[in-house]
């Protein structure tokens, strides 16, 4: 399968053509390591129009909800700064910013549970992203498919009122 071959190429760190990107935009080299590379004023930056639409928190981050593209499972929540979003938009792989480790983290580099980007949307007020992916294996670091599996809270459920009023 082509996708598997592409996966192996990217795992080796090769540059890979990103579908949908204009030919004038070179695919960025994606570091295989998770070492933080804060932007130093050189190299590619996030599209200024996209950056301007982001409503970041005090730490410069926006929440990224990650969803399996075909089953619509809500897989996990991560955080992205502008550079993590740029990498996600341009590499075909999801990259987060780890607040606890203060470094970029490309999902699956250590676990093998890679996330292949299918789409990215910004929400209505710019403070959250919806990233649709094809998730390999478990999205959660605890080994469950999603971060929400088996963690339901006791909630009172309710039904919406019958529009007939009967």
Site string for Zn ion, 122-141 (x = CB under 5 A): ------------------x-
Does 74 help bind Zn ion (rule: CB under 5 A)?
no
Does 63 help bind Zn ion (rule: CB under 5 A)?
no
CA Rg value for the chain: 18
Angstrom distance (rounded) from CA 77 to CA 67: 9
Query: Among residues 78 and 92, whose Cβ is nearest to Zn ion?
Result: 78
47: closest CA among 90, 97, 106, 78?
90
- Min. distance of Cβ 148 from Zn ion in angstroms? 8
Query: Among residues 90 and 135, whose Cβ is nearest to Zn ion?
Result: 135
Residue 91 · residue 25 · CB < 8 Å = no
Q: Which residues bind Zn ion (CB under 5 A)?
A: 140, 147
């Amino acid at each position: 399968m082509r996708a598997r071959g592409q996966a192996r190429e990217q795992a080796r760190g090769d540059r890979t053509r990103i579908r949908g990107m204009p030919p004038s935009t070179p695919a960025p080299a994606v570091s295989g390591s998770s070492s933080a590379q804060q932007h130093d004023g050189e190299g590619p930056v996030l599209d200024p129009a996209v950056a301007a639409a982001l409503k970041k928190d005090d730490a410069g981050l926006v929440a990224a909800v990650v969803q399996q593209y075909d089953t619509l499972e809500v897989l996990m929540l991560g955080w992205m700064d502008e550079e993590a979003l740029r990498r996600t938009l341009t590499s075909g792989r999801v990259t987060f910013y780890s607040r606890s480790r203060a470094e970029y983290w490309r999902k699956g580099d250590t676990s093998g549970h890679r996330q292949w980007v299918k789409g990215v949307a910004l929400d209505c007020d710019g403070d959250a992203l919806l990233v649709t992916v094809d998730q390999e294996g478990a999205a959660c670091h605890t080994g469950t498919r999603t971060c929400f599996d088996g963690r339901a809270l006791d909630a009172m459920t309710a039904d919406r009122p019958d529009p007939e009023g009967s």
